[in-house]
Amino acid sequence: MERAMVKLENIKKSFSGNEILKGIDLTINTGEVVVILGPSGSGKTTLLRCINFLEAADEGSVTVDDKTVQCKKAGSRDILELRRKTAMVFQNYNLFRNKTLLENVIEGPLVVRRATRKEATDKAVKLLDKVGLGERLDNYPSQVSGGQQQRAGIVRALIMNPEVILFDEPTSALDPELVGEVLATIKAVAKTGITMIVVTHEIAFAREVADRVVFMADGRIVEQGPPGEVIEHPREERTRDFLSRLVGEQAS
């Protein structure tokens, strides 16, 4: 049997009385690449943030690897343990503006993992080189393109050796001509066999890379399945509407 790496049970989250997540159940197997699709405002970012407790859900439980946390009762040690198993790649890269790409990447290992500067630097240089940033180590974020910043953002996640990487619309802040290079990097990461949850509107990428597509709307999972089913033959009206609008946009 396949082993679950992430298990979300009955995740509910409200903001000022507004229920944004309405009881999400989702299990993701080890090594699985899950793409989450859904209209803006459907709760995709909130769901990712509830997995690593950037946001604490009001109800339900989060399991990553062998660690289960009841959201209501999560203590700071539980949260730390979960966070060590996950890494997040943000829409706006979230790099420190006053640090070079190399310094950005070694920050996590130095602060969280207590690695030596030499260990962290050696590993960072290798990883940055792999994503084509070997010549950019000493550049500040403002000196490189958005695509290069996001590739550094991906390396910053990878260097922590997480069990799961959470990507929140990793290419949606990029100029169109830079999207491909970042998607190629994410695809290469997927090939390493790491478990990934990717929120994106890139349908072609989802079709090619996802093992499973989950369509969310209004704080619920509407349908899910292999990309060939959900993208090519959606069962639900809401999924069909969303996809036809999206495909229209991406074709134009």
Binding positions for Mg ion, rule: CB under 5 A: 44-45
Q: How far apart are CA 135 and CA 201, in angstroms?
A: 31
In angstroms, what is the minimal distance from the CB of 47 to ligand ADP? 7
| Region of residue 114 (phi > 0: left; psi between -120 and 50: alpha; otherwise: beta) | left
| Residue 76 contact partner, candidates ligand ADP, Mg ion, none, CB within 5 to 8 A by sort of partner | none
Q: How far is the CB of 55 from ligand ADP (least distance, A)?
A: 7
Of the candidate residues 11, 24, 45, 158, the single one contacting ligand ADP (CB under 6 A): 45
Which residues from 54-113 bind ligand ADP, rule CB under 6 A?
Answer: none
Apex 188 CA angle, 152 and 165, nearest 5: 65
| Cβ pair 89, 165 in contact under 8 A | yes
Smallest gap, in angstroms, from Cβ of residue 52 to ligand ADP?
A: 14
Number of residues interacting with ligand ADP: please give it, by CB under 6 A: 10
Q: Which of 11, 24, 46, 158 binds ligand ADP (CB under 6 A)?
A: 46
Residues 23-42 that bind ligand ADP (CB under 6 A): 38, 40-42
Answer yes or no: are the C-beta atoms of 181 and 151 closer than 8 Å: yes
Q: How far is the CB of 195 from ligand ADP (least distance, A)?
A: 20
Measured distance CA(181)–CA(167) in Å, rounded:
15
- The site map against ligand ADP for 4-23 (x = CB under 6 A) is -----------x----x---
Q: Which is nearer to ligand ADP, 45 or 86 (CB)?
A: 45
Which of helix, strand or coil describes residue 217? Answer: strand
Helix segments in 7-145, DSSP class H: 44-51, 76-85, 101-111, 117-130
Residue 9 neighbours by CB under 8 Å, 6+ apart: 25, 60, 61, 63
Partner from ligand ADP, Mg ion, none binding residue 63, C-beta < 5-8 Å depending on class = none
Are 213 and 230 in contact by the 8 Å Cβ rule? The answer is yes
Report in angstroms how near the CB of residue 20 gets to ligand ADP at its nearest. 4
Q: Which residues bind ligand ADP (CB under 6 A)?
A: 15, 20, 38, 40-46
